[in-house]
Amino acid sequence: MTDFGVETVELDLPPLAAALSRRLHEAGVPMTPERPAEFARALTLVRPVSRRRLYWTARGVFVSDRAQVKAFDAVFFSIFGEQAPDEPVDANDTPTDPAPPDDRPKADHETSSGGERATSSPPAASDDDEAGAEVDVPVAMASDDEL
């Protein structure tokens, strides 16, 4: 009989998140600068003690469309070990806890009565506003780091 042991491996999260996001981007998964940071934060919250938990945490952060799953799976399993051919990744296999019942009064659940849509009106003009005056609208620009 051989000895069996379990070893806890501590990972340096920023380089792991950056490398995984770079490989996913190269595989065609759309990537924003915030996603690697969100992934590192998710790993501190989830504590991925198994490959399955790591998989679903990463997939939840990086995949935003079902069409990206194939590219994500190819990158993930190339890094963290191949998936057995008869081992499908099944979300229903992951244990979940049911959500607690909603104890709010029924009136808080309804959005509007009679199927009407909620509308908003423009703010009232003050005395110092000119009618039809042009207003400067800020334009989002990429920072030096993003460029």
Mean pLDDT across the chain: 75
Q: What is the pLDDT of residue 112?
A: 47
Residue 78 pLDDT > 60, yes or no?
Answer: yes
Burial group, residue 21, by CB count within 10 angstroms (0-12, 13-18, 19+): buried
Predicted confidence (pLDDT) per residue in 4-47, tens digit = 776 666 777 778 888 899 999 999 999 998 999 999 889 888 88
The 10 Å Cβ neighbour count of residue 92 is 5
**Residues 78, 79, 85, 88: is their CA dihedral positive or negative?**
negative
Average pLDDT over residues 59-68: 93
Q: List, for residues 105-125, the tens digit of each pLDDT value.
A: 776 555 544 444 444 455 555
How far apart CA 22 and CA 72 sit, in angstroms, is 12
Rounded distance, CA 83 to CA 35, Å?
Answer: 24
Cα–Cα dist 87/119, whole Å: 50
Phi-psi region of 53 (alpha: psi -120 to 50; beta: other; left: phi over 0): alpha
Longest dimension (CA), the chain: 88
What is the mean predicted confidence (pLDDT) over 89-105?
61
Measured over the CA atoms of residue 49, residue 37, residue 23 and residue 73, the dihedral's sign is positive
Question: Whole-angstrom Cα distance, residue 5 to residue 80?
Answer: 20
